[in-house]
Amino acid sequence: MADINGTEAAARVADVLLLFTDGPDSLGVSAIARRLGLSKAVVHRILRTLTDRGLLAADPVSRGYRLGPASAALGARALRESKVRTVAMPVLRELQAATDETTTISARVPDGRVYLDQVESTQEIKMTVEVGRRFPLHAGGSSTCILAFLPPHEQEAVLADELAAMTHRTVTDGAVLRARLAEVRAAGYAHSIGERQSGAASVAAPVFAFDGTVVGAISVCGPADRVDDAARERFAPLLTDAADRISRALGWRGGLPDDAGQESA
């Protein structure tokens, strides 16, 4: 029983910290309690512990809590030591030079994905991304690209959940999204226009680990009037080649697990 209680307590602490990977910069006790279904007393104890260790800090303006310096240090080290990011960055620089648009690398995380890094466009008007923030898997090119190559049971778990609208163009119908995922698997890449961020468009391709598990995605993104159909046709082969190079550097040799989003190659 003690082990079960200890595991549950650790899970609650982790859940509180993970709330700060998306949403507002600061959160109060009531908001955290409501989102996690915990009592305010339990939340207050967790927040006090995390604050004492520098993982969170009290925000005097909002009277809530925000990520502390220890969290920043953990995040910085995680980025530095991310093999996916390390392998991807030289390839992304080449891809940015070839497209003159911002290129990005995302990694899959529990309940979504995060941008690990980007190489910004040199153009005056450009798109930049929010590194480290968690985004859902149903909205945008990089997200749907990852979702399309997940095993069916993991896809269905996402599709069965609420598909919240991030913009008026976000696909929130499970049947429509399911059909789109099949198209992404067939094409080998995804594209989106204004689904996650109004006025932005992207083309994305999946990145695989040595065992064929999809671990992330790379993208080319920019203003929707520049990343149009013609640009997408031009970017797609460059992008899929870049994603293949990154995947092979991670040990992938082609082919996917039998229970992945498509049959083994």
Q: In this model, does residue 4 exceed pLDDT 80?
A: no
Residue 258, pLDDT above cutoff 80:
no
pLDDT of residue 263: 44
Structure confidence at residue 18 (pLDDT) = 84
Q: pLDDT tens digit string along 180-237?
A: 999 999 999 999 999 999 999 999 999 999 999 999 999 999 999 999 999 999 999 9
- The 10 Å CB-count burial string (b at 16+, else e) for 93-124 is eebbeebebbbbbbbbeeebbbbbbbbebeee
According to CATH, where is 3.30.450.40 located in the chain? 82-249
Mean of pLDDT values over 45-56: 92
Domain 2-73's class?
Answer: mainly alpha
In which residue ranges of the chain is CATH 1.10.10.10 found?
A: 2-73
82-249 folds as Beta-Lactamase (3.30.450)
DSSP state of 102: E
Question: Each residue of 109-135: pLDDT tens digit?
Answer: 888 999 999 999 999 999 999 888 889
| Contact assessment for residue 143 and residue 129, using Cβ atoms and an 8 Å cutoff | no
pTM passes above 0.85: no
The answer to whether 146 touches 131, Cβ cutoff 8 Å, is no
Cβ-based neighbours of 231, under 8 Å, separated by 6 or more:
101, 203, 222
Closest CA to 158 of 170, 143, 141, 168: 143
